[in-house]
Structure 1
Amino acid sequence: MIQLKTVLTLVATAALAACTTLGPNYQPPAAPAPTAYRAASSVVGAELQRDWWLMFGDAQLNTLQAQALQASPTLAAAAARIARARAVFGATTADQLPRVDVGANAGGLRTSARATTTPVLNGRAVSFEGESFGLTASLGWELDLWGRVKRQQEAAQAQLDASTLDAAAARVALTADVAAAYWQWRALADETGALQRVRDSRALALRVAQTRFDAGASTTQDLARVRAELAAADADVADLPRRQALVLNQLAALTGQAAAELKLQAAASSQLTTPPPLRAGLPSELLQRRPDLAQSLAQLHAATAQVGIAEAAFYPSIKLTGSFGYSSEDLGALLSAPARLYNVGPSLSLPLFDGGRNQASLASAKAAVDESLAAFRGRMLQALREVDDALAELQGRTAVVEAQARTLASSSQALAVARSRYAQGAVSYLDVTEAERTPLATERALAQLRGAQWAATAQLVKALGGGWAVKG
């Protein structure tokens, strides 16, 4: 009965002590942000969703994204980190509960007649020899007087959140990289057509120049110049397979397959058009948009909880231990009342001298909080910069594309006039090929610029968090 009172007293003490949790409670830090981005962002535009690439209506891009999400080693590694963090969290949750073990033993036993612990009766040592059987159950429970176990669970939960957010950030980066590589491949296809037209025009110009030279109406210098232009066009055409192979290799790696396995079909539309505008929002919305920022806050939360764990090491710890069972030399009488045994009681551990270990651990935990806070602020500044960079890049590319489109329209009009005059016999065909020079070169440059414009769109998607949003 005395032991039962002891147990009840300790349980009551643990219930009262549950209100005591050492260490600072986590508070999200202030994240000051400017009222607007340096580059003026469009207020009107498409709002990114989680599967943001669907808004472009490209079936082949959708297929590539599905392959990447399913087979990417990067996402598989992130999923494994989540599973590991979840297991650690489960272990810390178990620390809050009592531990119960059951054991049994059987064997022969003989005590020594010459040991110092051997009992003596009437001047003679009493030894025992025979069989021994036992069945016991033991219980151990650490009373969380100072919230150490609670802080461990809090830190494990924060690390689990950080792992989940790390996977979300990896997903955003992966899908943006897949889209950027795919759009680059599309741009190369457009450039291939434009460059082939340049090469055909140069070949025709060479034939015309050769005819004029043979007729004595042109100089050797004119003929050499046209030959050099054709050779340059041939070199550009020959270089295209290399550039396309590099892009396809990148796409294959991003989608988790060998380059030889990747098969892409010609795009349904002949050329890349202007990408739709995206709503960048306000800088203050980045915390709700970017998983890497939320991950940084989760790591700060975990570091803050570690301070409480380090502080609890300075205080005494109390463990409630007990055992109950049976022990007998006769297996048939093992569960009888005389064979019953039990032991229950608390154990106290109080740190008196540790050579400064606990103080160093506390200082390390506090420094980790400062480090995590600085890392969050640095990541916030980096996120703001990435959005500003992406907006500036996209707006700059868009302006250049528009200017090149005007150049193409004007030069195409001039080419139409030259062809009309050639049909009327007013000029030679060499004048037509000269008039083709600007629109064909502009068409190729426009294909490259549109590829850069779409790549900047992917960069902006990544900078904005790829449609991820914090769950309220």
Structure 2
Amino acid sequence: MRLRTAIVAAAPIALAACVAGPPPDIATPTPELPGAYLYTPDAAAKAGLATLLPAEDPAFAALSARALAEGPTLAEALARVDAARAAARGAGAARLPSIGANASVERRRGNPAQFGGNVPSGIDFDTDQTGYSANLTASWEIDLFGRLKASERAALARLDGADASAQAVGIALLAEIAGAVIDWRSNAAREAALAEDLAAAERLAQLAAKREEAGLAPGFDRVRAEAAASQSRSRLAALQGERAQIVGRLVALTGQDARSVGEVLAQSAGASALPVPPAALPSDLLAQRPDVRAAAADLAAADADLAAAARARFPRLTLSAALGLLAFDFGKLFDSRSDVYSVSGGIAAPLLDFGRIEAQIDGAAAGKRAAFAAYRGAVFNALGEAESAYGVVAGADAQSEAAARESADLERAASLAETRYRAGLADFLTVLEARRAADASGERAAAALGQARSARVRLWLALGGDAQAMTRSTTQ
């Protein structure tokens, strides 16, 4: 009677838990983006993202394929995807019945005293018993209110986020390798320009030495010309350190040894024109940038976590069953009278938890707000990077064009000054100053061209990269 009264009294409280209301409504609107970029090229540009990478360079093709296949950075990200996939499978399996089997042998000794010592006479009491049993068991939590489904949805969203994060790692890896290869080619072009400068300085020093021997010029002219040649040699020597740094970067990115990386970089690459930056819309970032997609997946997971936390207020219905054999003589274990079974159903609902579930709901709601703020931050960070990358491309192109014109003009001026000097129409100081100005211009032009190519890789990365480039690199 008292138990019945307690159940009747608890029923309204359980009902109150069931109708406590939906989870907090947290608005997550899509951020409004501008209609176009400030520095984007004319909409008539038909170039695609793939053209921004040095795909025609054999070194980039080989190193990117090796990095995607064997690089440690991407391997770590892919392992996280496998972990998220396993968690999603586990969350899905939690919604299905669980079936198990067990077998046991139990030896027991009883005592008549445990019955109060009032065992009727004539009744044998077996104090030693050995029990043999084998059972099939099954249990199933029926997800009436969707708590397990919400948990599975959260796990699937986290799998999407891990997959997008792995793709972001792969795209960043390709961009790093492309930048390193471009730096290597730029270094080689700078070396060629400095070698020409050194040859011109040595030629000028030889001319000054001949005029000194002929008594037509002081020895100071020869010394200054040799100093200019030494300056070119110094800059050439500095390039060796830069090459070592590039090789070290590629060793870390590809997981290959320095000798293998050097052999790949030794492959020649033909000259190619700068690709045209493609026109793109800011809204494309929401679909292309893997970090934005990962942030969106985290937001979806946080929303599912909030739904699962809210559904913890509702009752849980569990069904269980067992079918087996039980005998106290192993030879009778398979007799028809040894079979046993049980079927049960249970329902459990929170009554008084003193705010535990509400605290979990509040925590999940805060997590969703944080995930939305992170998603919004990822969107505007991507927008800012793309806007900056377009501006850097425009500036680098202008700098490269100006540096090329400057180099051509200064080389022509140096050539004219040397011709006038040979004809006796100009002094050696004029020739030397013209040569010094021209010496640095060739290297600056080569460096500026390399910066323009690197700016395109930065734009490729800022616009979300090209997921197909990863597939192409692994199949080459």
| TM-score exceeds 0.5 | yes
Cα offset for 1:435?
4.4
CA contact (8 A) 1:22 1:148 kept: no
Q: How far apart are the structure 2 equivalents of 1:178 and 1:307?
A: 41
AA aligned to 1:97 is L
Partner of 1:31: 31
Aligned residues: 446
Cα offset for 1:208?
3.2
Deviations 1:409-444 (A, max 9, x none): 333444554566567675678866654444442211
Q: Which moved more, 1:198-207 or 1:131-140?
A: 198-207
Superposed counterparts of 1:207-286, under 5 Å = 207-213=206-212, 217-218=216-217, 222=221, 225-262=224-261, 263-266=263-266, 268-269=268-269, 273-286=272-285
User: Are 2:138 and 1:139 equivalent residues in the alignment?
Assistant: yes
User: Are 2:344 and 1:374 equivalent residues in the alignment?
Assistant: no
CA contact (8 A) 2:52 2:456 kept: no
Q: Which moved more, 1:138-147 or 1:26-35?
A: 26-35
Q: How far apart are the structure 2 equivalents of 1:404 and 1:290?
A: 34
Q: How far apart are the structure 2 equivalents of 1:193 and 1:58?
A: 19
CA contact (8 A) 2:225 2:432 kept: no
AA aligned to 1:281 is A
Q: How far apart are the structure 2 equivalents of 1:459 and 1:287?
A: 18
Secondary structure of residue in 2 paired with 1:114 = helix
Partner of 2:385: 386
Partner of 1:47: 48
Q: Which moved more, 1:340-349 or 1:158-167?
A: 340-349
Partner of 1:97: 96
Cα offset for 1:137?
1.5
Q: Which moved more, 1:118-127 or 1:309-318?
A: 118-127
Q: Which moved more, 1:196-205 or 1:456-465?
A: 196-205
Q: Which moved more, 1:189-198 or 1:411-420?
A: 411-420
Deviations 1:192-218 (A, max 9, x none): 111122122223333333444566655
Q: 1:24 to 1:162 in 2, by over 3 A?
A: farther
Secondary structure of residue in 2 paired with 1:141 = strand
Q: How far apart are the structure 1 equivalents of 2:117 and 2:82?
A: 54
Partner of 2:8: none
Q: How far apart are the structure 2 equivalents of 1:410 and 1:224?
A: 26
Cα offset for 1:466?
1.2
Stretches of structure 1 lacking an aligned partner (at least 5 in a row): 1-20
Q: How far apart are the structure 2 equivalents of 1:82 and 1:207?
A: 66
CA contact (8 A) 1:322 1:344 kept: yes
Partner of 1:298: 297
AA aligned to 1:46 is A
AA aligned to 1:252 is V
Cα offset for 1:358?
1.6
Q: 1:266 to 1:139 in 2, by over 3 A?
A: closer
Partner of 1:67: 66
Partner of 1:405: 404
Q: Which moved more, 1:295-304 or 1:345-354?
A: 345-354
Partner of 1:18: none
Deviations 1:204-240 (A, max 9, x none): 3333334445666555765554344333222212211
Partner of 2:159: 160
Partner of 2:351: 352
Partner of 1:179: 178
Q: 1:98 to 1:52 in 2, by over 3 A?
A: farther
Partner of 2:15: none
Cα offset for 1:314?
1.8
AA aligned to 1:156 is A
CA contact (8 A) 2:28 2:372 kept: no
User: Are 2:185 and 1:189 equivalent residues in the alignment?
Assistant: no
Q: How far apart are the structure 1 equivalents of 2:108 and 2:86?
A: 43
Partner of 1:5: none
Q: How far apart are the structure 2 equivalents of 1:153 and 1:118?
A: 57
Q: Which moved more, 1:346-355 or 1:421-430?
A: 421-430
AA aligned to 1:268 is S
AA aligned to 2:264 is L
Q: How far apart are the structure 2 equivalents of 1:118 and 1:365?
A: 59
Cα offset for 1:141?
0.8
Q: Which moved more, 1:431-440 or 1:34-43?
A: 431-440
Partner of 2:456: 457
Q: How far apart are the structure 1 equivalents of 2:367 and 2:219?
A: 76
Q: Which moved more, 1:261-270 or 1:358-367?
A: 261-270
Partner of 1:468: 467
AA aligned to 1:445 is R
Q: Which moved more, 1:169-178 or 1:307-316?
A: 307-316
CA contact (8 A) 2:228 2:436 kept: no
Secondary structure of residue in 2 paired with 1:178 = helix
CA contact (8 A) 1:26 1:304 kept: no
Identity %: 31
Cα offset for 1:332?
3.3
Q: 1:462 to 1:254 in 2, by over 3 A?
A: same
Cα offset for 1:133?
1.7
Secondary structure of residue in 2 paired with 1:96 = coil
Q: How far apart are the structure 2 equivalents of 1:178 and 1:168?
A: 15
Q: 1:137 to 1:119 in 2, by over 3 A?
A: farther
Q: 1:121 to 1:308 in 2, by over 3 A?
A: farther
Q: Which moved more, 1:413-422 or 1:226-235?
A: 413-422
Cα offset for 1:150?
0.2
Q: 1:410 to 1:273 in 2, by over 3 A?
A: farther
Secondary structure of residue in 2 paired with 1:447 = helix
Deviations 1:69-118 (A, max 9, x none): 11111110111111111111111111111111112223433323222599
Secondary structure of residue in 2 paired with 1:451 = helix
Secondary structure of residue in 1 paired with 2:49 = coil
Cα offset for 1:379?
0.9
Q: Which moved more, 1:389-398 or 1:308-317?
A: 308-317
AA aligned to 2:83 is R
Q: How far apart are the structure 1 equivalents of 2:25 and 2:81?
A: 25
Secondary structure of residue in 1 paired with 2:306 = helix
Q: 1:337 to 1:430 in 2, by over 3 A?
A: same
